[in-house]
Structure 1
Amino acid sequence: MSRTQGGRRVAGSHRGTGGRADARRAARRRQRAARPEQLRRLLPQALVVAALAGGTSAFVAEDKAVRLSVDGSARTLHTYAGDVAELLADEGVDVGAHDLIAPAPEADLVSGDRIAVRYGRPVTLTVDGERRRVWTTAHTVDGALRQLGVRAEGAHLSVSRSAAISRRGLDLDVRTERTVTFMADGREHTLRTNAATVAAALAEAGIALREQDTTSVPQESFPRDGQTISVLRITGREEVRDRALPFPTFRRADPTVLQGAELVAAVGEPGLERTTYLVRTVNGVRQRPRKLKTRVVRRPVARVVRVGTKPRPPLPVAGAEGLDWQAMARCESGGRPNAVDDSGRHGGLYQLDQGTWQDLGGHGRPQDAPASEQTYRAKKLYVQRGAGPWPHCGHRLSG
């Protein structure tokens, strides 16, 4: 049960609750039910006693006339209750933790007292976007706002100030008046507003957004008191940039081209890559471009080079031409370019040793070189030393 002391609400039960208090109240109710008949029978005796005693009787002194107001509905009644809580129980007035009772439930009753009960009403209150559940004993929205200490001057209310609040309560949305400043086009625009969104406040300030313009905070957000919001004037355009793509080069062996020669079969062409950027300016300041898309406009064409692998014919060696080199090769190696003697020291068509071969400008081993190169080196040796290097087959040169 709710109680108030000194103008404030308190929670708890009447001090007379419990078995003895309940029994006492029940006895009082039975007593009141039997009172009319008792009064009729005892009245003559009471008058005699009163005359003898020179005063009023004790049971008449217990009857009190009080004024009871329940949620604004008032009536005067007579009661034998000893305190406020007993009176409310006798009258069937149920009170809860959020209800207001004045005077306090434990206050003793005397004739002429005024007792007020005001029921609490739940209010789902949203003030500037912050939602909470509160209780009020006011009957109207205006009274609830005053009781709850909500500043409502210039505020937007979701329901009328004069709207009644039933015991079921209501939802109340309050948007107080706030000071908001917009920075737009180099100027300050300050206004008092109870707008629900930045966009609505912007419209109240008479500031229009064009195409890509926006604000420094989301336009659907709630404008706070003292907030400064910048208007961003934005222009944007697309910018295209091309980049050459290098072409690859492929080198391919070609047995139809002499060794040491290279022929370009395809010259090669660079490709083209095109990238589109979004270039924006915010309040006249150019921003870093943002890449939108990239595509290959033209693919590169490879450069192809033919590399000759065909052996070159042996160069003529003055003083060694016109001799029968084939006959001497058949004699030395059986005409086999890769022939090697039993010692492993001499090889090739003309059975040259490694040192001689290298002195003649050859690389590697003679038996690994082409037949034409072996003949060319042998001719150079002949010019230097005659047929001496081939004591057994040298005479075959002259037929």
Structure 2
Amino acid sequence: MSAPNSLQPTTSPHAADSAPSVETAAPAKKRRRLLPLMALGLAPVLVAGGAVAAHAHKSVDLEINGQTHTLSTFAGSVEGLLAEQNITLGEHDLLAPGPDSALSDGADVVVRTARQVTVDVNGEPQVVWTTALTQGDLVSSMFESGREVTLAASRSLDRTSLSLPLVVDGSVDVVADGETKRVELEGEAYVADALEAAGVEVSRTDRVEIGSADDGTVEVTVTRVVAGERTETEPVDFRTVEREDDSLYVGQKKVVEEGSAGERTRTFATITVGGKEVTSALRSDEVTTEPVDRVIAIGTKERPAPEPEPAPAPAPAPTTSAPSSSTSGGAAPTSGVWAQLAQCESGGDPTAVSANGLYYGLYQFSIGTWQAMGGSGLPSQASPAEQTQRAQALQAQSGWGQWPACASKLGLI
């Protein structure tokens, strides 16, 4: 849609540049004539009438585009008056009454120069001719004909010589920021006058359109156009990395640091019209928070081999004599892997008995295992040395898996 500054004749001027001759010395008076709405439309309305050859002196009012002049003439017809005043009509200009109409004393003759303007008709841009004197008259006349018409106000909103006024002595509804204010304007008023009266400020990016309210009142609508920006964020996954650690045995793992996600931020330049985003363009895309890796330590330390122990003595033959006392036959080991195993299994107590009563002594033998290794009586009643000898024989025969929990804890399996 064109700006109001485009509301100007696109053909050569048809009325004389200078004012017509005036019989009296009084200044020309300025009046707004109330023409039928059809006369403000797209084609001129010519009022037909028979010419009367009347050449008597008479006084008539000639209005040219809203400016009225009282003239003294001997012309007998409207056509003769126009010829007398050197006024030539264009194809789309308005003349009322028609050129063949007779002139009488006190007659009114109206000339309107047509302008070619661009309007939005039911949402579609069209170029039309109009003889309307105000933008309000133009949109109102087309509104009355069943067409919804809007005009775009110029960006400068100024009062240029070729710009049609908004209204002359009329009401205007100003619609902005969700509110409608009706203002009363006097004389020739422009869009800037209506906005000022309503207390509405506009920026150079805002859209200002002229249309009609439901009751036909001229309506100035301000649509805010704002350039801004919008941001979007999304998580950035962290990595899991493994690092060798010689403080851990081979096969062992340990989480050294828990990972955390980072954040990516995208910034878009946006244009919003009436509060709704209509365009966006990616301005930047960057990781604003770096992710933190999840770190797992992997053991590289070789497991120690069990310390060598003396070969176990031959298991004593079964005897029917009384069980050996726990205080005889040597003490419990105090160093090495067997001391560690005894400490883990029984706390180093050769007389220890499990809470369920099934396991006995330093190495928590079951009765069946103790007897299978040649022991007699209860393991907890044997000397620490005998318990150790039979434990060593059991390990040589079946491995460290006989003590799964403590052997694993000590890194023996």
TM-score of the superposed pair, with normalisation by structure 2 = 0.28
Structure with bigger helix share is: 1
Q: Which structure carries more relative contact order (alpha carbon 8 Å, separation 6+)?
A: 2
Higher alpha-carbon Rg: 1
TM-score (normalizing by structure 1):
0.29
